[in-house]
Amino acid sequence: MLNLSNGTGNASSTSEKHSGLSSRHIDETLNTSSRLTQEQSSLTTQNSDISNEVRSVPERTHVSVEQFNEPVLRRTSRQSRMPDHYGMYSSSYIFASSRGSSMSQVDCKQVNIIPGGTYDRLCSLAEKRLHNVVHPKIVYFVAGIPDICSLVRIKNEKYEESYLYLEKDHVALIKETMSDVEKRMKNIGCKVVFATITTMSFQKWNTHRRSVGKTVRLKYESDYERMQERLNSILYAVNTYIVQRNLGNGVVTPFLHAFVHKRCKSKIRYIYSMLVD
C-alpha cells in the first residue's frame, strides 16, 4: 500500500486512469522511487513549448466538468482498524476528483472524492473537514483535469461533450489557483502536496459517452486533435510547475502521470490505451 505519511515519503510514479487509479499502479508507485527522481529531474530541467491557439469553442457553453456532484468519503483500510494516534498515516489526507476513486487502498487517514472536483472545490471541502483537526496534516490534491477541461451538457437535447477552451491561458490560471489553495491550507495548519496531472483523450472519452447513449452527437469532433495537442502542452508546463512548487515546499511529488506520459529520448509519448472512462 502507498504510505502517504508525510510530504517527503517515497511517492513515485503511478498510473492514472481517466476515472480512477488502479491499486496495481498505486503499488507500483511504492516500488519505483528511482523513477520519481529521474522524472523529477527531467521535468525541472525541460522547458515547455506551448503554442498559442486562436480557435475557440463558444464561451457561453463553458462550464466546469460535473461540478454539481456531491463529495464521497472513501474509507481506507486503516480506518477499519483501531486508531493509532501515533501512526504516521494519521497525518495524511487525500482530496481527489474522480480519478482518485481507486485510492481507498492508500495508507492514509482519509480519502475524499468529488467527481469532477476542481482544486478550489476540493480545497473548500478540505477546509470544512480539517479546520478543527489539531494534529499535523498533510493534504494531497489529486485533480487538475476539471480545472482545465470543460463539459457542455444539454440534457433535454441528450447532448454532452468534453472540450478544451483554447483561448484561455490555462497554465497561468492553474498556477494562480494552486497558490490560492496552498495559502488557504496553510491558514488551517496543513502542508500541501500536489500530484502531477495525467492527460485525458477527448476522442476516447467523448466517443465512449456517445457509445453508451449519453450523447447523440459530437459537435467539436473535428477539433479534438488540436485540443489534444494543446492539452498535452498545458499539462507538461503545469506538471513542471507542480514539481518545482513541491520541491520548494520540501515535499516529494507523486508522479501519477508517468504510466501514460512516457518519455522517449527528447519526446513524450502518450499511451492513451491506459485511460478508461
Summarised one tens digit per residue, pLDDT across range 97-152 is: 988 877 777 778 889 999 999 999 999 999 999 999 988 899 999 999 999 999 99
For residue 90, the model assigns a pLDDT of: 74
| pLDDT, mean over the chain | 75
The predicted model scores a pTM of 0.70
The helix (H) or strand (E) run that includes residue 118 is none
Domains in the chain: ranges and CATH: 23-274 (3.40.50)
Output the CA torsion 222→225→231→236 (10° steps). -170
- Residue 163 phi/psi, 5-degree rounding, is -155, 175
Q: Are 22 and 15 in contact (CB under 8 A)?
A: yes
| pLDDT tens, position by position, 12-63 | 333 333 444 444 554 454 444 445 444 555 544 444 443 343 344 444 344 4
Residue bearing cell 494519521? 90
For residues 84-96, average pLDDT: 70
C-alpha cell at 99: 480519478
> Pick the residue with more confidence: 144 or 80?
144
Instruction: For residue 27, give the nearest of 90, 107, 92, 88 by alpha carbon.
Output: 107
